[in-house]
Structures are given as structure tokens and as C-alpha cells.
Amino acid sequence: MDRRRSRIIAVAVFLGFLGTAIPLAAMAYMSWVIAVESEEDRLELFSRLTVSRAENTLRDAKGALDAIAATPFVACSDAHIARMRALTVDTTSVEEMGYFENGLLTCTSWGRTAGDIGRSHVDYVTPDGLEVTIRIQPAVSGGKPMMGLHSGAHNVLIAPARLVDVLVDDGMSIALTNGQGALLNALNAPDPALVGSLAAAPRRGMTASDLFATARGDGLIAIATEPRSMLAGHMKRELMLLLPVGAFIAAFIVAVVIWLSRKRLSPLAELEIAVRNREFIVHYQPIVALKTGICIGAEALVRWRRPDGSLVRPDLFIPLAEESGLIMPITDQVIEAVIRDLNGILVQDRTLHIAVNLCAADIKSGRILDVLEAKLARTGIRTEQIWLEATERGFMDIDAARITLEKARERGHSVAIDDFGTGYSSLQYLQGLPMDALKIDKSFIDTIGKDTATSSVTPHIIGMAKTLKLYTVAEGIEAEEQAEYLKAHGVDFGQGWLFSKALPADAFIAYHRRTKEKFGAAPEVIQAAAG
């Protein structure tokens, strides 16, 4: 497996892992956030209930004090005491009402007193003017601590429990403070330090151990807290709802990652990347004049050099490239490589030509001629030094092919039909097409000297080419006797392992120099003139 495939697989595994982990973690986080939010909402609701409960209690007490102050009765008369008692009985929150004269309790809702109980100290004053003593231990309440509210000459005692008389859920604690931070009463022993901090700065949130929320009333702050462990159950419920959503998203992401990576791992995707990364190089197979042995040119044969350095043969990727249209950018890269590799030697030796293979799409559209013109401009390479090879597949649209080939020849290129004899159209098409050379396929050359069914075809192909006044190039010559046979039958040029395999540019240039020294130079570049 090459590095690119391993990288794609590694990236896919990594993305698959992220695509699974992130949605699941996001859903877990969302469950946590929702659980925290709704628990805090619940605590805030209980804080608001507490505040409203305390406000009602204080309002009732104030109502009773206002009502007694408005009575015309003589202080501590029977009527006055009866009125105080009636108000005490009628006002749920009031446990006792008292009347003070010269700072001493003179009578209460229960009767006259000895007049030896003084007014208790004032802890704070409510916004509506009630003087509050947070804790009084009156003799009449049986030792139960009371809260005293004083207005004018009267006071009332209320049970502090009335202020936080709220039915709370398990684990929840409540504290009620006045606006100055003094604790009025609490339920279920909330953490005093937390209560102190929230009384100073009311807010909602959580500490390492508790969740909390607060509510403000008129001169009152209620604080509700509960342990963080209460979140677990809530979060579990949210998870049950959200995890399937996370699992669905994760499955979707994983499916997309698999689909994309399979696409990227597909041969087509690899080829696309290769085109983008310009991974194509060209090897040159020498073409020699059979009579003299002189190297008159070469066929440019593309190779795909993978990032790991391995070379892929064209027959393994050209069919896919043709099918997908990627062949056109590949042809462009081949032309660029020819110019880059051989510009020098092509300018030095005008007898040398390079044959470039064209795909069917290029022959149909004729696009390649403009590409060639643009790329050859200012290189010094002559158009007649670039031959164009087309297989019969390129002539499917015969009218379009004729136009392209005519144009190509007008511009000076020679045109050869490649792999001749392997298609179905052959002769009939050939006659109508402007052509310079015919390349006899290796399958016919292989039959030379052998007694096979097709061996008799080879001399016919050669004869036909001569009749049509085409140059003949024999492909795939591997044996001396094949070369001799072809020479004897008047075939002009040959190409094959007998002379040389396809060579990298440097090796081809060296090959060309050697044969030039040995056999001399070609008289001139072989050109359309043949026709």
C-alpha cells in the first residue's frame, strides 16, 4: 500500500473517530447543560415561592398592625385587648399582638401584663417601616423563638417558620435573608458560607458541591440550593433523549467519511490527484530507419510516477483517463514534458521527430492543435518535428477527425494511424483520411516467421500502405529476423526492444547521439511530404 493510500486511510480513521466522539460528547455536554439549566430554573422557582410566601406573611402582619393602630379604643381597655385578640386570631401569621407604653409591654392580645417587659432591640427596618427583631424568645410562646415586628405602639410576634413555609423537594435547602444579608430563617440547613456569599451577590450557578439560585423581593432575598449529585438523575434522562440523536449524527458523519475516503481511494480519484500533482513523466522509445539504422525520432510514452517512485504502465490508467476525460490534461502534460525534456536536442537536430499519442476526444475536438501551437511557440521546435499518433478509436466521428487531421497537416504535423489492423474500420476509413504514416501493430509483427492464421496479413498491410503512399512504421520488433523481413518488404521505420526499450529523456538523448555517431544523421525530418 503506498503512502497516499495509508494517509487517506489514517485521515479517514481519525475523522471517523472525531465524527463519532464529537457528536456523542456534544450530546453529553448538552444533556449536562440542559440538566443544570433546568435544575437552576427549579431552584429559582422555589426561591421565588419563598420570597412571595415571606412577603405575604409580612404584609399580613403589617395589615394587622395598621388595623390595631386605627382603633379608637383606650389603650389596654377590654375593647382594645379584644380587638388585638381578634386580629391575632384572624391573621394566620400573627401569633401574638402587644401594646407598649413608655417602652414597656403593657398588654397583649391575651390580657394585661405586669409591665416589666421592655421593647426588644431593632435588628433592621423593612422598606415599609416595620421595625424587625429577628429573634425574640417571648415567655408566652413557650420558649419558641419568634420574630417581632413593631409599628407605632404595637408589635406582633410571628413564627419565623411562616416566612419559609414552602414545600420543597428532597435535598433542597432554602434560606431567607433580608436586604442587608441577615438570615431570617432557613429550611434544611443550607451551607452558611454559600448563603452569605449569595446574600451579598444574588445569582444562579454552582459550586464544586452545590447548585443554587436566588430570587429578590421587597427587602428580601431567598436562596435555594441543592447538592450537585441531584444533577445525575436529570442528566441521565436528558442523555436518554439526546444520545440517540448523537448516535445518528455520528453514524451519518462516519458514513460520509467512509463514502468520501472510498471515493478518494478509488482509481479515478487517485488519477485526479495525479493529474493535479503533475505525476506524469514521459519515456521515449527510439524509432529507427530500418534501412540505415539511423534514429529518426521517438514515440513519447507516458508513465505515471507514483509518489513512492513506482512507475505505472499507461495501459493501466489510459482507459480510465479516456473514459473520465482526464486524458486531455494528461496529453497536455506529455506535450509539456516533451518540450522540457527534448527542446535542446530537437532544436539542434532538425531531422529528429517525436510522436505524441492523441486521445479520441482530442481528435474529435481538435483542441490539441491549439494547445500544441501555444506550447511550441517560442521553443524553436518546428511543428513538423511533432508527429501525432491516433488510434482507430479516434476516428469514430470521421468528419470531425478529418477536419482535425487536415488542420494538423496544414500546420506541419505528420499524422500516423497507430495500432493499425487491431480495429474494425481500417481500410475503408483510411482511404478517406488525410494521413502520413501507418503504424503496424505488434500483434502482426509477432507473426513474422511463424505460420499463424494472421501471418499472411502483414504483407497485405505493408502493400496497402504503399498503395496509399503512407510511411510504414513497424511496432514491437523484438527479433533480428523480424527487422530483416520488414526491411526486405520495404517497411520504412521500426520501433521495438530489438533497438531499444522506451528510455528516460537523458538515456534517449544518449542513445540518439550514439546511433548518430555510428550510422550518421537522417537526411531530413520525415514529413507529410510522403503523401
Ligand X SMILES: Nc1nc2c(ncn2[C@@H]2O[C@@H]3COP(=O)(O)O[C@H]4[C@@H](O)[C@H](n5cnc6c(=O)[nH]c(N)nc65)O[C@@H]4COP(=O)(O)O[C@H]3[C@H]2O)c(=O)[nH]1
272 binds ligand X (CB under 6 A): no
Kindly report the number of other CB atoms within 10 A of residue 18's CB atom: 14
The least distance separating ligand X from the CB of residue 495, rounded to whole angstroms, comes to 6
359 binds ligand X (CB under 6 A): yes
SS (H, E, C) 102-165: CCEEEEECCEECCCCCECCCCCEECCCCCEEEEEECCHHHCCCCEEEEEECCEEEEECHHHHHC
497 binds ligand X (CB under 6 A): yes
Encoded amino acid at 84, one letter = M
The least distance separating ligand X from the CB of residue 302, rounded to whole angstroms, comes to 4
Measured from the CB atom, is 150 or 303 closer to ligand X? 303
Kindly report the number of other CB atoms within 10 A of residue 433's CB atom: 16
51 binds ligand X (CB under 6 A): no
Measured from the CB atom, is 113 or 443 closer to ligand X? 443
Residue in 155, 177, 357, 385 binding ligand X, rule: CB under 6 A: 357
392 binds ligand X (CB under 6 A): no
Encoded amino acid at 315, one letter = D
Per-residue binding string, ligand X, 301-330, x by CB under 6 A, is xx----------xxx--x--------x---
61 binds ligand X (CB under 6 A): no
What is the chain's alpha carbon radius of gyration, rounded to the nearest angstrom? 52
Distance set, CA 282 to CA 311, 389, 441 (Å): 11, 15, 21
The least distance separating ligand X from the CB of residue 301, rounded to whole angstroms, comes to 4
Measured from the CB atom, is 3 or 278 closer to ligand X? 278
279 binds ligand X (CB under 6 A): no
Helix (H) / strand (E) element for 214: namely strand 210-217
Encoded amino acid at 379, one letter = T
Per the document, the length of the chain is: 531
Q: Are 155 and 148 in contact (CB under 8 A)?
A: yes
- The values of phi and psi at residue 103, to 5°, are 80, 5
297 binds ligand X (CB under 6 A): no
Measured from the CB atom, is 177 or 404 closer to ligand X? 404
The least distance separating ligand X from the CB of residue 334, rounded to whole angstroms, comes to 4
417 binds ligand X (CB under 6 A): no
285 binds ligand X (CB under 6 A): yes
Q: How far apart are the C-alpha atoms of 231 and 84, rounded to whole Å?
A: 49
404 binds ligand X (CB under 6 A): no
Give residues in contact with ligand X (CB under 6 A).
Answer: 285, 300-302, 313-315, 318, 327, 331, 334, 357, 359, 418-419, 475-478, 495-497, 502
